[in-house]
Homo-oligomer: A and B are copies of this chain.
Amino acid sequence: MKELVFVGLGLHNESGVSLNGIEETKTADRIFLELYTNILPYFSIERFEAMVGKKVQVLHRCNLEEKNGALILDAAENGKTDFLVPGDPLIATTHVTLRIEAEKRGVKTRIVHGASIISAVIGLSGLHNYKFGKTVTVPFPENFSLTPYNVIAQNKKLGLHTLCLLDLKVDEKRFLNINKALALLLEIEQKRNKGIITPKTIAVGVARAGSNNPTVKADYLEKLLKYDFGDPPQSLVFPGELHFMEAEALVTLAGAPEILRRIVK
């Protein structure tokens, strides 16, 4: 059967995948795997292969980008093919493109969803999901732009929270960390001088979402700049207006300064 199934691997390790995801691999003729669109720090390909009882072919960014995914598409035209992807697979826009290409070639596609960094960080922050505005990625210094600053500013103006994903190049083992991302944003503030992101701004840093020991710390930027969040993956949240239960969550679950309780609506 010509079929391409995107299987979400969820978070953290090879057991982040759902039982439906494991079940799916049993009927696959070919299994591909990528570990570059997000970080699964404790994912072991050997353990995963042992678990599903099949060989898995690991793809790198270049395998997919340089040949427009021909490797996967050719396999899917010749049998049932599973493509294993960190998190929830179609949150990575590059895979949406692959899915479109497959359908255009007459290959049926399906998705087995997995836990996503998006909902995980929102949940861990203790902030209310429906109060988040647009999400943004904070890029490495060499690709830096005003976009993250502007998105945070726009969301704040609307009273909304901002989820900031931090750039990563897993192939090169490079991860932008929270401290560096904050320093970059504060540099922009110094140029723009709008008072959006200052040393007295409160933010929430989240590290290792999906593990048994995530770090979730809310504090003033001047404090977070020096805070040791430990291993990646790391993400940031800039709160907008806080509901009193959100302030309570930041104080109780993320160690925010207690004064937060008194400055909410």
A: residues with CB less than 8 A from B are 8, 10-20, 22-23, 51, 87-91, 93, 96-97, 99-100, 103-104, 109-111, 113-116, 118-120, 122-124, 126, 128-137, 154, 158, 160, 209-210, 212, 245, 248-249, 252-253
| A118 pairs with B124, CB closer than 8 A | no
| A93 pairs with B19, CB closer than 8 A | no
A222, chain B: closest CB distance, angstroms: 26
Copies of this protein in the assembly total 2
A187, chain B: closest CB distance, angstroms: 22
Cβ-neighbour of A23 out of B15, B113, B130 (below 8 A): B15
| A132 pairs with B134, CB closer than 8 A | yes
Known: A99-B253, A119-B118. A212 touches B10 (CB 8 A): no
Inter-chain contacts of A51 with B (CB < 8 A): 19
Known: A8-B115, A96-B249. A90 touches B123 (CB 8 A): yes
Known: A11-B113, A113-B115, A120-B113. A245 touches B96 (CB 8 A): yes
Cβ-neighbour of A132 out of B19, B135, B248 (below 8 A): B135
Known: A130-B134, A253-B99. A10 touches B119 (CB 8 A): no
| A–B pairs, 25, beta carbons within 8 Å | A10-B20, A10-B114, A13-B20, A14-B19, A15-B23, A18-B19, A18-B115, A87-B119, A91-B123, A91-B129, A93-B129, A96-B245, A100-B248, A103-B253, A104-B252, A110-B212, A113-B115, A113-B120, A113-B123, A118-B129, A130-B134, A130-B135, A131-B134, A134-B160, A154-B158
Known: A10-B115, A130-B137, A245-B96. A91 touches B122 (CB 8 A): yes
Inter-chain contacts of A245 with B (CB < 8 A): 93, 96-97, 100
| Shortest Cβ distance from A212 into B: residue | B110
Inter-chain contacts of A87 with B (CB < 8 A): 119
